[in-house]
Amino acid sequence: HRRFDYRPKTDPYCQARYTFCPTGSAIPVMKEEDVIEVYRLQAPVWEFKYGDLLGHLKIMHDAVGFRSSLTGKNYTMEWYELFQLGNCTFPHLRPGMDAPFWCNQGAACFYEGIDDAHWKENGTLVLVTTISGAMFNEMAQWVKYDNETGIYYETWTVQASPDNQSIVWFDSYECSKFILRTYQKLADLGAVFKKIQTNYTSIILFSGEPIYLGNETSIFGPLGNKTLAAAIRDFYNPFKPHQTVREFFVDLLKIIDRVILNHQFYLFYNLEYWFLPMKFPYLKIIYEEVPLPVGSKASFGV
């Protein structure tokens, strides 16, 4: 996933259904000698828990919690879409504009408190490691860098096949990937993680080798490829970016239908368009184990 120099200003056209990070606050500076517990937080995306079709899918949201021993305060940190999931996955086809218009950014949100009931009753709230205040402060600096340079949300992982050793053409960039990067950063700083099973949700497309098509200017600009531009617009036409999570999954079914019938998918990734020659089993939502990291340097505990 490409890093960018800065986060672009959001276009006023992009309106969120729910405010992004409404109670967010700056990450505090901890006393270096503080001992901070780190919690793994995971819960189902409840909105479609009881949907007929979607009830059995393990679609989870991930976050990380912290508790300061010196102050007794709790904090939650997570990463999610500025304009909700549909906007990160599907573009708007705006009248008078040739190119699909994307409202796609993701970012970290940090706020005081851990909603124990939400994570415990519906999912997971478990201690994974303990760190010093100094390590927490170093992590906070890294979060700032990660947030300013990793700006686009990416829903899809694209692989050559369902095999474990399969080539990954494109990696997703969403809430769980941020949590995994955070854990890895803490491990690199010396955190030692408990040996517990940790699973994450991925939405995977299966494709032959992707074909690079170009960027917005080269496809939709004055010297662009009109036929290709029309094909891309046509592909995105049935999908609605402004939608609830339930509607998003209804659109997901439309995608599966089109992809299976036509064996094709147009992917927008790091501001570039790619053609995916789709192949069986086309799309899978999986909930699989990703182990907690092992640090890159010896640790003597905190």
- DSSP per position, 71-129: T--EEEEEEEESSHHHHHHS-B--TT-SS-B----EEEEEEE---HHHHHHHSEEEEEE
Of 43, 65, 208, 192, the C-alpha closest to 130 is 192
Task: Please give the C-alpha separations between residue 101 and each of 27, 95, 156, 184, 233, in angstroms, as whole numbers.
Answer: 33, 10, 18, 34, 10
Q: What is the dihedral of CA 213, 218, 222, 228, to 10 degrees?
A: 0
Q: What 3-state class would DSSP assign to 145? A: helix
Which two tokens mark 212? 């690079």
Q: Which of 88, 103, 109, 175 is catalytic?
A: 175
Annotated active-site residue 61? The verdict is yes
Annotated active-site residue 103? The verdict is no
- Separation between Cα atoms, residue 5 and residue 223, nearest integer Å: 28
Q: Which of 61, 88, 103, 109 is catalytic?
A: 61
Pairing of strands 106-112, 74-81: antiparallel
Active site members: 61, 175
